[in-house]
Amino acid sequence: MAGARHASLHPDYRFDRTVRAAEDLLKEMHQRGIEPDVMSYSVILHVYSRAHKPELCLCMFRSMKGRGICPTVATYTSVIKCLASCGRLEDAERLLDEMTTEGVCPSPATYNCFFKEYRGRKDVNGALQLYKKMKPPGSPTTPDIHTYNILLGMFIKLNKHGTVMEVWNDMRESTVGPDLDSYTLLIHGFCDNQKWREACQFFMEMIEKGFLPQKVTFETLYRGLIQADMLRTWRRLKKRVDEEAAKFGEEFKPYHIKPYKR
């Protein structure tokens, strides 16, 4: 059964073969008098979810509950992820309501399924409403670093500067971030929007916090500042970077940037 979780599911014939093998194993377990537990069903639901098969997910989920097996948070999350990623948000929301009614507390990963779909739809209001429900105090489930990074990436692409900073400040007040990805999303977003002062500010903060930026981040900021006729700003920034470089040691050596030519 564990092999099903990691099997390649595309094209469809591979999915069919993988699922058939897993379902045959379930039948064999029944024939031998071994009752599949929630983990057995969760593996199959995970496979259905990865393959974007919402009807199969729901059918297996209802069958499991019909046998008196109580879903775990991971089980619910697999089905919700499948429904949300297939655009069936209303069905996913109903299942979320069912989950909480039955006393199963959603995890951040459960809510992240919705945030990813809101990001794809560019649904700012939907994302903000759900985010406010998760904010402490009062919520048993608070955002994790993935939640914050999904929202940061979404809002910065939509040029929602005020909302970006609200989410960023919430994250800093929490105990989960920011991390390298958070800073990278923010800096690249500011560069895309030509907000050079903010990009430089967070670039420097990133280094001072001990995060070594990816080389592409150095190059993106460098090219942007040069093209914006801000060479003096880059030189000041580069001087500060060199002062902080000692903390990165050998890792920093490959980051030498050649002079930019127009």
Per residue in 227-237, pLDDT (tens digit) is: 999 988 888 88
Q: What is d(CA 140, CA 152) in angstroms, rounded to the nearest whole number?
A: 22
The arithmetic mean of pLDDT across residues 21-40, rounded, is 80
The arithmetic mean of pLDDT across residues 126-133, rounded, is 95
More confident residue, 31 or 68: 68
HSE-up of residue 119 (Cα within 13 Å, Cβ side): 20
HSE-up of residue 206 (Cα within 13 Å, Cβ side): 24
Backbone angles phi, psi at 183, to 5 degrees: -65, -40
Q: How many CB atoms lie within 10 A of CB 102?
A: 11
The arithmetic mean of pLDDT across residues 20-42, rounded, is 80
Contact 55, 88 (CB under 8 A): no
- Cβ neighbours for 98, distance < 8 A, ≥ 6 positions apart: none
CA distance from start to end of the chain: 58
* pLDDT (0 to 100) of residue 257: 52
Mean pLDDT, the chain, whole residue set: 86
Question: Considering the chain, what percentage of its residues have pLDDT values greater than 90?
Answer: 56
Report the sign of the C-alpha dihedral through residues 132, 133, 134, 136, in that order: positive
* pLDDT (0 to 100) of residue 251: 59
* pLDDT (0 to 100) of residue 37: 83
Give the residue ranges of DSSP H helices in the chain: 2-6, 12-31, 38-50, 54-66, 73-85, 89-101, 108-121, 124-134, 145-157, 161-173, 180-192, 196-208, 215-227, 231-244
Per residue in 132-171, pLDDT (tens digit) is: 999 877 788 999 999 999 999 999 999 999 999 999 999 9
* pLDDT (0 to 100) of residue 5: 45
Given a cut of 80, whether residue 47 has pLDDT beyond it is yes
The arithmetic mean of pLDDT across residues 191-199, rounded, is 93
Per residue in 203-247, pLDDT (tens digit) is: 999 988 888 888 899 899 999 999 999 988 888 888 888 877 776
Q: How many CB atoms lie within 10 A of CB 107?
A: 14
More confident residue, 104 or 261: 104
More confident residue, 2 or 16: 16
